[in-house]
């Protein structure tokens, strides 16, 4: 290869696209921020409704629950969106995050309760009307909380959590909660890596077969390079929830931001 022939990173990403006749909106980690989610989805549903694309997809990269106070409302909102979108011929694709894994695990094994609570599970218990056991609570208190959560959780919420996708590939993009293990073919990735991986994926620089669109590791501003696009802007801490719009080879970013009591939307090309 002649010097200078190596494509610049930006050039490389600009050649990557989604399948033709397809419009995708991907939303980052919601973590119990139902108001920010509703603000984004209102605009997204309008945009999808105005699109002439044959496939119109709204995708969420997981971590619906924990940390924020509105986990139940977030799941209900996503279920309502599924009904609304499917009635209009659109698709809602929901990926699984590590926090959904923790919630499901807690329903089967209450001994993880203290660990889960420390990672934001306490807020999820409260949102489903279950009083979180106090610090230093005994195992039987956690067992009661686990049983109570199962009783309080609507069946369709449980079904939702159990049927989440681990990853989805569309055109040149691979959507997954946390990332991929470098050097392992996409179809051989493990669920543990898909839900939890950080440094081994983030710090690596080798090109990947697809551009990975992910969340899990909050960033101050959406991260974009030739390997990956991180759309987790830490909504529960920053008040900013982000969504990526992909059509052909164009990328747009929309953010819902909490400013005092108001919510605002901003847009930019990515």
CB of 179 to Mn ion, least distance (A): 10
Strand partners, 229: 213, 224
CB of 232 to Mn ion, least distance (A): 8
- Judged by CB, which is closer to Mn ion: 22, or 98? 98
The whole-angstrom distance between residue 178's C-alpha and the CA centroid of its chain comes to 9
- Judged by CB, which is closer to Mn ion: 72, or 216? 216
CB of 210 to Mn ion, least distance (A): 20
DSSP conformational letter for 69: S
The span from the CA of 214 to the CA of 217, in Å, is 9
Collapsed DSSP state (helix, strand, coil) of residue 187: helix
- Judged by CB, which is closer to Mn ion: 23, or 243? 243
From residue 49, alpha-carbon distances to 41, 43, 89 in Å are: 12, 10, 9
CB of 97 to Mn ion, least distance (A): 5
- Judged by CB, which is closer to Mn ion: 97, or 133? 97
Residue nearest to Mn ion (CB): 216
Collapsed DSSP state (helix, strand, coil) of residue 160: helix
Per-residue burial over 181-198, b if 16 or more Cβ lie within 10 Å, else e, is beeeeeeebeeebbbebe
- Judged by CB, which is closer to Mn ion: 18, or 178? 178
Q: Which residues bind Mn ion (CB under 5 A)?
A: 63, 97-98, 216
CB of 216 to Mn ion, least distance (A): 4
């Amino acid at each position: 290869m002649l010097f200078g022939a190596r494509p610049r990173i930006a050039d490389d990403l600009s050649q990557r696209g989604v399948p033709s006749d397809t419009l995708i909106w991907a939303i980052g980690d919601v973590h119990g921020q139902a108001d920010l989610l509703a603000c984004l989805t209102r605009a997204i549903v309008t945009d999808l409704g105005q699109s002439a694309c044959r496939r119109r997809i709204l995708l969420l990269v997981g971590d619906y629950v924990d940390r924020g106070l509105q986990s139940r409302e977030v799941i209900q909102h996503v279920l309502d969106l599924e009904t609304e979108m499917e009635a209009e011929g659109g698709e809602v694709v929901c990926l699984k995050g590590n926090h959904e894994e923790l919630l499901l695990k807690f329903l089967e094994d209450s001994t993880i309760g203290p660990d889960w609570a420390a990672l934001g599970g306490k807020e999820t218990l409260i949102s489903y009307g279950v009083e979180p056991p106090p610090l230093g609570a005994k195992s039987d208190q956690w067992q009661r909380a686990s049983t109570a959560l199962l009783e309080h959780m609507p069946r369709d919420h449980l079904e939702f959590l159990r049927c989440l996708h681990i990853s989805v590939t569309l055109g040149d993009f691979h959507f997954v909660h946390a990332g991929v293990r470098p050097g392992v073919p996409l179809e051989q990735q493990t669920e543990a890596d898909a839900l939890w991986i950080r440094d081994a994926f983030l710090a690596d620089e080798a090109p990947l077969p697809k551009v990975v669109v992910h969340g899990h590791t909050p960033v101050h501003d959406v991260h974009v390079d030739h390997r990956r696009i991180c759309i987790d802007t830490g909504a529960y801490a920053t008040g900013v929830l982000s969504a990526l719009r992909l059509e052909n080879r164009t990328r747009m970013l929309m953010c819902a931001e909490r400013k005092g009591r108001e919510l605002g939307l901003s847009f930019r090309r990515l």
